[in-house]
Amino acid sequence: MDNVLEQQRKLHEERERLEDAIAKESLLKKATLRDQINSDHRSYMLLERSVESAQKLLDLYEDRDGMRSEEIQTLSGVDEFGEFYRRLKQLKDYHRKFADDLEEPMSMEFSKMDEMRNNPGEETQDLVDFSDEEGYGKFLDLHHIYTKYCNLKQFQKVDYLTYLSTFDRVFEIPREKKNQDYKKYLEALVDYFLDYLSRSKPLLDQSKLLSEIRLQFDEKWLQGQFPGWRKDTSSAMIHSGAHLDLSAFSSSEELMSLGLDRLKSALMALGLKCGGTLEQRAKRLFSTKGKPLDTLDSSMFVKSKMNKNRDEDERNEDVAFLEAQVYRLSEILSDQKQATKENIERKMARTAEELEEEEDIEEVIASDSDDDDSAPYNPKNLPLGWDGKPIPYWLYKLHGLNIEYRCEICGGHTYRGPKAFQQHFSEWRHAHGMRCLGIPNTSHFYNVTTINDAIALWEKIKSTKNDDRWLADREEEYEDTVGNVVNKKTYEDLRRQGLL
């Protein structure tokens, strides 16, 4: 077993190597969202390991058991050289006894880590589990949450696309519909969001995020300004929804004019004791003017009513806090939410024939051999994606890759899709063909793909330029002695004839 100082040295080395690995990970180029998510998870694991090493170092430096102080004292004692050779002999005896028990150096471990980072294999492609609908962090999969929503009896059934647009607008739901089943639905929605964030954004500090949500919620809740739960806390009467407004009364004597029955109903609405004489009821009711209920003396309340109101307020606060989490988490995942809606709309726009063709292609690809060296099955000659497999048929049709454009100027080369066709006019192949024809590759010749059309257009442009060219003989003006203005050619003829 290593001594305390050697353990500290190892932990310091490990932390330095971890910091270097984190820096390399942050500088690594991430071409796709998959690469970004995998890189974040690797960084998260390195950070967790670094924190664990730092905690071990802290425990060793605190030296609660006194072993570190004892070891330092032993090494710095009178017989330090004798202690050194005794420890050296122990090491030699240990390695002679366990000659085959070799430990892998830390440098080799981090070298393997660098190699896996720079040359990821198939086993490192998916570091985290996502469902097929989630597309490895691109979209949200709310189908099971949508099923829970549809099972709530108090809500009108909507389609999945409408639900994606309205699930975070819970402030529009009336309070009387927010029962216990609604609370369970919100808990399932929040749990999914937190789980999705832990998979797609592992570096996000969820505990800090929830603390911030709690602070903002408590502030708005106490002020009665939380969306969907707004209330007026200016007085106890308005807070409890009583039907008697005390702002019109300046003293308890004025309240006595209302009578015993009216005062009793107002007190019962507040959950206060309603017994006593007319004067006692008036004083009790007037004492609530301009005061929140929670500041009143508990002896003024009827116990059963007070406990019931308190329990109801706690339930409402729990539901409202879940809604606050839905607002904030939905805001963080707004990009994935919008991408999910677009993906669903794109799927709904596909025809039955396209869906069947895509399913056939996917089945063939799934049943294809796992041999990486063999070419993937591609009967429709679809372009290959980043994973070396044919892209989906709907994406092939969406980008117009099924349409081919032929350019005679480029030597009969064909281009797939309108985007590639438009881009090729500014590329080297088309520019070289125009140069061979002796024609400048300007914007006048965009969308011209045949040699005859290009030559005819160039001749027309040249003739137009000749017509527009400035000719001195015809356009330069001269004035004779009388004041007549003529062009240069006429002026020269009249001058030679002596008529000027």
pLDDT confidence band for 264 (50 / 70 / 90): confident
Q: Please give the average per-residue pLDDT across 46-65, as a whole number.
A: 88
Please report the pLDDT score of residue 84 as a whole number.
79
Percent of the chain predicted with pLDDT > 90: 14
pLDDT at 320 over 70: yes
Please report the pLDDT score of residue 26 as a whole number.
86
Give the chain's mean pLDDT.
81
**Phi and psi (nearest 5°) for 113?**
-65, -40
Range name among 236-240, 295-299, 466-470 with the lowest pLDDT average: 236-240
pLDDT at 369 over 50: no
Tens of pLDDT, residue by residue over 163-173, are: 988 888 888 88
Q: 178: how many CB neighbours lie within 10 A of its CB?
A: 22
Please report the pLDDT score of residue 81 as a whole number.
77
Domain boundaries along the sequence of the chain: 4-124, 143-231+315-341, 404-468
Question: Token pair of 106, please?
Answer: 């830390």
Q: Please give the average per-residue pLDDT across 419-438, as a whole number.
A: 89
pLDDT confidence band for 103 (50 / 70 / 90): low
Please report the pLDDT score of residue 101 as a whole number.
67
Q: What is the DSSP letter of 384?
A: B
Range name among 60-69, 331-340, 413-422, 431-440 with the lowest pLDDT average: 60-69
Q: How far lies 317's CA from each of 90, 149, 164, 218, in Å?
A: 66, 21, 25, 9
Tens of pLDDT, residue by residue over 226-260, are: 888 876 444 444 444 344 677 777 787 777 877 77
**Phi and psi (nearest 5°) for 127?**
-90, -10
pLDDT at 194 over 90: yes
Please report the pLDDT score of residue 233 as a whole number.
44
Please report the pLDDT score of residue 240 as a whole number.
43
Quote the pTM value. 0.55
Please report the pLDDT score of residue 239 as a whole number.
41
Range name among 19-33, 100-114, 299-313 with the lowest pLDDT average: 299-313
pLDDT at 307 over 60: no
Question: 285 Cβ partners below 8 Å, 6+ apart?
Answer: 244, 246, 252, 255, 263, 266, 267, 270, 272
Q: Please give the average per-residue pLDDT across 404-425, as a whole number.
A: 90
Rounded-to-integer distance, Cα 308 and Cα 271, Å: 10
Q: Please give the average per-residue pLDDT across 394-423, as a whole number.
A: 87
Residues in the chain: 500
Please report the pLDDT score of residue 450 as a whole number.
92
Question: Token pair of 400, please?
Answer: 């117009």
Q: What is the CA radius of gyration of the chain?
A: 41
pLDDT confidence band for 472 (50 / 70 / 90): low
Percent of the chain predicted with pLDDT > 70: 85
Beta bridge partners of 478: 486
Please report the pLDDT score of residue 237 as a whole number.
42
156 φψ region: left (φ > 0), alpha (ψ -120 to 50), beta (else): beta
Matching residue, tokens 């003829």:
493
pLDDT at 150 over 80: yes
Spell out the SS3 assignment of the chain. Answer: CCCHHHHHHHHHHHHHHHHHHHHHHHHCCCCCHHHHHHHHHHHHHHHHHHHHHHHHHHHHHHCCCCHHHHHHHHHCCCCHHHHHHHHHHHHHHHHHHCCCCCCCCHHHHHHHHHHHHHCCCHHHCCCCCCCCCCCCCCCCCCHHHHHHHHCCCCCCCCCHHHHHHHCCCHHHCCHHHCCHHHHHHHHHHHHHHHHHHHHHCCCCCHHHHHHHHHHHHHHHHHHCCCCCCCCCCCCHHHHCCCCCCHHHCCCHHHHHCCCHHHHHHHHHHHCECCCCCHHHHHHHHHCCCCCCHHHCCHHHECHHHHHHHHHHHHHHHHHHHHHHHHHHHHHHCHHHHHHHHHHHHHHHCCCHHHHHHHHHHHHHHHHCCCCCCCCCCCCCCCCECCCCCECCHHHHHHCCCCCEEEECCCCCEEEEHHHHHHHHHHCHHHHHHHHHCCCCCCHHHCCCCCHHHHHHHHHHHHHHHHHHCCCHHHHCEEECCCCCEEEHHHHHHHHHCCCC
pLDDT at 47 over 80: yes
Q: 140: how many CB neighbours lie within 10 A of its CB?
A: 25
Please report the pLDDT score of residue 78 as a whole number.
72
Q: How far lies 482's CA from each of 474, 475, 478, in Å?
A: 21, 20, 12
HSE of 85, CA atoms in CB hemisphere, 13 A: 3
Q: What is the DSSP letter of 123?
A: G
Please report the pLDDT score of residue 241 as a whole number.
37
Please report the pLDDT score of residue 174 as a whole number.
86
